[in-house]
Amino acid sequence: MKIFILLSYYKRLIFRNPKLYFYFITSFIVYFIVVGMLIFLQTVETLNLYFHRLLIFSYIFQFYYNHLYYGLGWESSFRHFVAFQIRMKNIIYMYIFLNLSYFVFSFILIKAVSLTPWLIVDYSIFNIIILYFIIPNLLFLIVFPLLTIYVDLFNSKKGLVIHKFYGFPLLVLTIAFPAMFQYLWSNFSVGPELISCLSIVFTIIVISRFSRIVKFWEDRLLQIKAE
Amino acid sequence: MNIYIEKLDISVKKFHLHCHDLNFDVGDTFLITAPNGSGKSMFLKGIVGLVKTSYRKIKINGVYTNELNLSKVIAAYLGEEFLIPFYEPMEYFELIGKIKGLDDSQIKFAVEGISKMFNQEWPKKFIRDLSTGMKKKVGLAGSLIGNPQIIMWDEPFENVDDEAQCLLRQFIENDKRLIIYSSPVRDNLPLSRVLGIESGRVLIEQ
């Protein structure tokens, strides 16, 4: 399916659902507050802030709100259209594409405001791509459907169920994984090689088992509300 | 074009539905009739893979459904969950057309066809703001875009006005494709077969 069809669907999903405005605007504002805060902190030279940390923060909001909340359809009322016409595989591709766009946007923005030098440490470009693009996307592919096992995410009576039950674990996951890998990368002599190998192996597993992952997503979506 | 149900088992909580060895051929019209709550919709959703099934072996033209993109061969409208509430009807039709790989002129032609069939001008309102009957018309019409050879509708006559019912009956009578639809009441249409559901089993009645 052509990406522009999916993006047009996504655009309408966001801009035509008043319930989503709050979350969209919040994530947008918080993103720029974080950017502003980091610029300020760097100006007063109180902390040596890494480019990466900004990406972690910004990523949380992209990952948490846009992907999980807008997810497969905020309302359960059109999940059969998603499953039957658009198909889950394409939805996953769309989110990965959006992640990539957001990642590139963050990268350019940071460069434009000269927040930090272009490359901070050795292998910096690989570090950023692996830790802040590949790993969160792999988490997204696997963690989201797993989270839906026990709770009906789309039950309108519990509209904020993701916040109530998953907000904290998700924040921990999205911060903890990149932070942990970042620590390993920076503090061990073979850290970069180790993380790179892990990511490659993980990516290969996901690609080779992609149809199973898609099937799992589909099952989760269709099982969410038994009729 | 035909559908062959080797075996289909659906179990949701205390509800069980079982069906095996059923064949549907192109040109035939099938009515699934049974009382409310007996599993007509569930059966249709099970065929297109929209409910979790405990066993599902279905072939379309000899190919198992898990190897097919079903939306390209089946026109399904099995409830409001097939609609996108934040789209206008025309946008919805265009989206379906684009998903099915039609170009602009083909989409325009298809929309003209369905508008004529329903004798309808589509309102410029979001689908969520339409009446129940209009939503159903949009869903049924949208399912026909792309000229699929198998049509599956869940209670198509429910909630639509007399004129639309009449047009739908004409369509079902005259169309040469495989049509499978459900209704809680028996119609007077010339049907190839009537399927019933008894104690969780899908059975051929005639």
Number of domains in chain A: 1
Range of the domain at A173: 3-223
pTM above 0.90, yes or no: no
- Buried-exposed string A49-73: b where 16+ CB fall within 10 A, e elsewhere: ebbbbbbbbbbbbbbbbbbbbbbbb
| Beta carbons within 10 angstroms of residue A113's beta carbon | 13
pLDDT digits (tens, 9 = 90+) for A154-165: 555 554 445 545
B73–chain A Cβ distance below 8 A for any pair: no
Strand order in the sheet with B178-183: B63-64, B55-60, B2-12, B15-25, B201-204, B193-198, B29-33, B178-183, B150-154, B74-77
Q: What are phi and psi of B47, to 5 degrees?
A: -65, -45
Question: Burial of A117 by CB count in 10 Å (0-12 exposed, 13-18 middle, 19+ buried)?
Answer: exposed
Residue B132, token pair as written in the block: 């129940």
Query: Tokens 């792999």, residue?
Result: A138
CB B84 within 8 A of CB B29: no
Residue B203, token pair as written in the block: 């059975």
Residues 6+ apart with CB under 8 A from B2: B23, B24, B25, B26, B60, B61, B178
Sorting pLDDT into bands at 50, 70 and 90, what band is A60?
low
The predicted structure's pLDDT at residue A226: 38
B68–chain A Cβ distance below 8 A for any pair: no
CB B70 within 8 A of CB B58: no
Q: Å from A178 to nearest chain B CA?
A: 35
Sorting pLDDT into bands at 50, 70 and 90, what band is B88?
very high
Chain B residues touching A211 at Cβ < 8 A = none
How far apart (Å, rounded) are the C-alpha atoms in residues A156 and A74? 9
Helix pair A51-61, A167-187: axis angle to 10 deg: 160
Residue A128: pLDDT over 60: yes
Q: Any idea where the domains of chain B sit in the sequence?
A: 2-204
Average pLDDT of A185-194? 84
> Which of A16, A84, A227 shows the shortest C-beta gap to B71?
A84
Interchain pair B42, A227: CB under 8 A: yes
Interchain pair A12, B79: CB under 8 A: no
CATH number of the domain located at residue range(s) B2-204 in this protein:
3.40.50.300
Task: Please give the single-letter amino acid code of residue B14.
Answer: K
The predicted structure's pLDDT at residue A24: 67
Residue B68, token pair as written in the block: 């097919």
Q: What are phi and psi of A226, to 5 degrees?
A: -75, 135
Q: Bigger pLDDT: B58 or A174? A: B58
CB B1 within 8 A of CB B163: no
Average pLDDT of B38-65? 87
Pairing of strands B178-183, B193-198: unpaired
pLDDT digits (tens, 9 = 90+) for A87-106: 888 888 887 887 788 777 77
pLDDT digits (tens, 9 = 90+) for B102-148: 999 999 999 998 888 888 889 999 999 999 999 999 999 999 998 88
Residue B93, token pair as written in the block: 């039709």
